[in-house]
Amino acid sequence: MITQIVNEETRSFWQRAKSAVIFEKEGLLGLKSPSGEIVLKPKYDQIEFCTDFVYAHYGTRHVFFYKTGSSSDCPDMENDYRFYEKGMLGLKNSDGSILLPAAYDEIIDWGNDCDVIYVRKGDEFHYYNHNLDKILTDVEDIAEDKYPLIPYNLGEDQNRDVLLCVEPIEKKESDRDCFAYGQWVRLSRIPYKSIRKIFTDCKVVEMPQKVLEHFEDEYTYIYSARICKANGEKPITTCLEKMKTLGCYNSSWEYMLKISTNSHTKINPHDLYNLVKHFEGNDLETRYLNCINLNIAIDIDESLSDGEVQVFQVHFFWDDMGLFLDDEFKMSTLPDGTVNDVKSSLEAFSQKDKEEHLDNAFWWIQFSEKRNWKATKQVLEYLKAQGCDDYSTLIQRNLDINYFCMEDNTCRMEV
């Protein structure tokens, strides 16, 4: 019999694996079809046929072969205590003792600083803490949810149509509360379609239409929301500090914030300045690489007490950000070109494209060895004359540029 290794790009691994059997060669395991064709080379020390994937382990790594035809080859993680037996998943404690027997199709331990375990067998799911008490039993039904079997999930879900909102609280009070991020939090779920109403029904400043359109774009990757309340001299800053503890500033996002007070409470301008500084970053390189955009709506909410501020934040990013790399205007002309280069490029765009480039133009201005400060100042003044009136960004950008050319005593710009 001739043994043949089939090209996995031309035939579905999952379809072949379903009828395959495990075989052993020189102490290692592989898969082969009843006819003897090699489905998986014998290099593994464990192979398990699970409900939604095939699990194969070798050395200090493991591979998941999913139903979809995709696969992931990952190193073993020290804090991943799941184990596999007869196609089912179980969970161990850090000392190796069994916490949950291998009886589930799916187990997600939320990891460090989170006392939450999700388990699923078929269409039945539960959330437990590590004492195996049932938690998070209050789950509102949302018709648009594409994954109703895992309603609460801190992972990065794309196009789920439901947004998970996390709010820090002082102590557990309801069945939507759990211990996560090293603190008590309340979890709630919001349909994506509700976000437009949340950010446009604002009595002071509504979210711009173009921001909401970007949020709703088919290429947008939506992560989650955060909500915080605070009193004091600088409550917005306090809310941001709380949100930091919820792990929402560890990556590159675009942000929509709704700031609410009652009609008797005024927002401290220094607090707003701290907000802008926080999102713009402390240095040019960080902000430039992170491509962060900040958009703010302001509302009146009479249910808030005097002096209390509530910040509702949605963070997301555009899934096609890589297109910027092919944008000559943003990657070359704005960072390095003369004012005539910038002017010529803008004049070549349609009116719609011109408005889009002007809207984000300041984010692409940076100190350049190819362009001196005088030329950079001319570009900034030209952009401002074209309607780029985001002064907070302009001021911070100039401060950054000045920082990088401190040796030039003439390197100052008055705004």
What pLDDT, in 10s, does the model give residues 22-61? 999 999 999 998 888 888 999 999 999 998 889 999 999 9
What's the token pair of residue 324? 């910027």
Q: In what order do the strands lie in the sheet with 124-128?
A: 106-109, 117-121, 124-128, 134-135
> SS3 string of 151-207?
CCCCCCCCCCCEEEEEEECCCCCCCCEEEECCEEEEEEEEECHHHHHHHHCCCCECC
- Cβ burial of 226 (10 Å; 0-12, 13-18, 19+) is buried
What's the token pair of residue 183? 């603190």
How many other C-beta atoms lie within 10 A of the C-beta of residue 174? 9
Domain ranges across the chain: 1-76, 192-321, 327-404
How many other C-beta atoms lie within 10 A of the C-beta of residue 177? 18
Q: Which residues contact 373 (CB under 8 A, 6 or more apart)?
A: 401, 405, 408, 410, 411
Q: What pLDDT score does 80 carry? A: 87
241/404: higher pLDDT: 241
Map tokens 């004359």 to a residue: 385
Q: Is the pTM of this model over 0.85?
A: no
Q: What pLDDT score does 234 carry? A: 92
Q: Once rounded to an integer, what is the mean pLDDT over residues 163-185?
A: 94
Please give the CATH superfamily to which domain 192-321 belongs.
Tubulin/FtsZ, C-terminal domain (3.30.1330.20)
Is a pLDDT exceeding 90 seen at residue 267? no
